[in-house]
Amino acid sequence: MKKSVFFLLFLSILLTLSSCKAKDWYLYTSFHEPATDGLRYLYSEDGQHWDSIPHVWLSPQVGRQRVMRDPSISQTPDGVYHLVWTSSWKGDLGFGYAQSKDLIQWSEERFIKVMDDTTTVNVWAPELFYDVETDSTMIVWASCVPYRFEKGIEDEFNNHRLYYTMTKDFIHFSPTRLLIDPGFSCIDAILIHRSKSDYVMVLKDNTRPNRNLKVAFSNHATGPWHDVSATFSESFAEGPSFVKLPKGYVIYYDRYQQKDFGAVLTTDFKHFEDISHQVRIPELHKHGTIIKVPKKTVSRIIKASRAR
């Protein structure tokens, strides 16, 4: 009888400790226009209601224009956080890069060149994606190379396609390759790994009549990509990011004409529910990417912001 009582007491303690275990929170990279200040953070406990963390954590020092737009962050299995960003509106053949172990102190910035064709107009919105199936990091971005693709209704100097490179150490990179040519100008891609050999891409159709978001599917991160969907967003939407919650995937996007954020909920990437009214993002923030981090990491960043 005593053994049973002690066992139940021990089990109760274990369950209590488990329930008290600090869960991960969400960190959203951001910037403010005109993108000359640098990296900012938002944080959330539930993935839907966000607050600002005061302070700029990394000021742009590379690129022709030295801006920091579209900051994308990813953590590799060694615990290091990697950050890439758009370093110029036009003229750059690559993007900015830095790394950190704590999201507070960042390494010296580097410029990573990825386009060899000197006629390249730009390198926009580099996005990091750690692919568990290849144990490497994929970097996806949009570039316009005039006269390379059928321009359709787009101007030759605004006719973008999505490219990628792979790396395991952010020193050596695979040759740049075309990721997708959906037959229209496209930018701002994010990749989502749902399960083994099951990938989803969210991208912006950047043609003038549309400027909205669509999805595509593949068995591999590098493609081939197929079944590009109809749009699931209103026009003038860009910079998608996502968070996976128990109820499904929430896709955030920047409604840049309205100067706010939209959000949709999906479980299958075929049906989308507008939940913009259910989320909260402070004013002035622009799009980046969302990662999960320990609550104590967010607390340390907040504490560091107060000390600066």
Residue-wise pLDDT tens digits, 22-48: 689 999 999 999 999 999 999 999 999
Q: Which domain holds residue 163?
A: 24-306
Q: Give domain status of residue 1, yes or no.
A: no
Give the residue-averaged pLDDT of 105-122: 98
Domain assignment present for 272: yes
Q: The domain spanning residue 132 has which CATH number?
A: 2.115.10.20
Asked if residue 166 is part of any domain, the answer here is yes
Q: Is the pLDDT of residue 8 over 90?
A: no
Residue 13 has pLDDT above 60, yes or no: no
CA 43 to chain centre: 14
Q: Which amino acid is at 110?
A: R
Q: How many domains, in total, are found in the chain?
A: 1
Q: Are residues 102 and 128 in contact, defined by beta-carbon separation less than 8 angstroms? A: no
Q: CA 220: distance to chain centroid?
A: 18
- Quote the mean pLDDT of the chain: 93
Helices (H) and strands (E) in the chain, counts: 2, 19
Beta bridge partners of 90: none
Beta bridge partners of 137: 130, 167
Say which residues have a Cβ less than 8 Å from residue 38's Cβ, sequence separation at least 6: 31, 56, 57, 58, 59, 60, 68
The answer to whether residue 213 is domain-embedded is: yes
Q: Smallest Cα–Cα separation from 255: which of 217, 201, 204, 183?
A: 204
pLDDT, tens digit, 9 for 90 and up, residues 225-260: 999 999 999 999 999 999 999 999 999 999 999 999
Q: Would you say residue 19 lies in a domain?
A: no
pLDDT confidence band for 6 (50 / 70 / 90): very low
**Nearest to 239, CA basis, from 273, 213, 269:** 213
User: In the prediction, which pLDDT does 152 show?
Assistant: 84
pLDDT, tens only, 255-303: 999 999 999 999 999 999 999 999 999 999 999 999 999 999 999 999 9
Give the residue from 201, 155, 209, 165 showing the smallest Cα distance to 182. Answer: 201
The reply to whether 18 falls in a domain is: no
Sheet with 69-75: strands ordered across:
69-75, 81-86, 94-100, 110-113
Q: Is 10 a domain residue?
A: no
pLDDT surpasses 90 at 108: yes
What 3-state class would DSSP assign to 303?
helix
pLDDT band at 151 (very low <50, low <70, confident <90, very high): confident
What confidence score (pLDDT) does residue 15 get?
41
Overall pTM surpassing 0.85 (yes/no): yes
- Cα Dmax for the chain: 83
In three-state secondary structure terms, 301 is: helix
212 occurs within a structural domain: yes
Q: How many CA atoms lie within 13 A of 246 on its CB side?
A: 1
Q: What is the pLDDT of residues 157-198, one digit of tens each?
A: 999 999 999 999 999 999 999 999 999 999 999 999 999 999
